[in-house]
Amino acid sequence: MHLYAQAITILIHRQLTGLTMRQNVGIFIFDDVEVLDFAGPFEVFSRTRLMPGLASRRSGDDAPYAVFTVAERAAPITATGGLVVTPTYDFATAPAIDVLVVPGGWGTRPLLQHRPVLDWIRATASCARLVTSVCSGALLLAGSGMLAGKRATTHWGALDALEQIDPSISVVRDARVVHDGVITSAGISAGIDMALDVVEVSLGVAVANDTAHYMEYRRFVQPSSGEQPRPATRDAP
């Protein structure tokens, strides 16, 4: 009976939010991308199911998201630590993206001067339902003009850089996830919390909590301010 009631609640939520079809989640990857920045959201979105428990995750029949990676070119990229990843699509072949995820890593710095990437982010974001970033991926959103006049956060080591790229951004230094039209998150593991937030907004808290439970991940408590607090960190070495 509990599963039936939850299924009805999910269907009503999807009807109210207009989400009746599977959403495409496109995760941008590039050389020197931080692994957990893209792998964390990939895990969340790819393992989300509308029905709770293990059985629904044995297939993709109940998956509300189709998740894939996108790179500028079809060639494999080398992530931080030497992990080699082959993107699902390149810029020319990627399907329409509903949820855009822009991760971070040291590879974001040279891309700030690479017009094809900034143009692709801007064009893709203009057609997406939701634009998100993890870690220093916020720098690329800022360089694309997507954060102008908005509140945003990033990895603690990139907060000053975010301010310098676009002084109109109100940089939030003490939050783990910030919602202001665009959703930005703090460093690395915060991308998991960001993705779970997206699931909650789209599909409801029960689905988000069940996804976290499946992953054995303890969600950060969402305070009444609508922002997740950033844990204390030591100064950069």
Which are the catalytic amino acids?
A: 135
The CA-to-CA distance between both ends of the chain, in Å, stands at 54
**DSSP characters over 190-231:** HHHHHHHHHHHHHH-HHHHHHHHHHHT--PPP--TTS-EEPP
C-beta separation of 132 from 194 below 8 A: yes
At residue 123, what is the residue type? A
Rounded to whole angstroms, the Cα distance separating 142 from 145 reads 5
Q: Which two tokens stand for residue 192?
A: 């998991």
Angle between helices 190-203 and 205-215 (to 10 degrees): 140
C-beta separation of 44 from 62 below 8 A: no
Angle at 163 between CA 159 and CA 167, to 5 degrees: 165
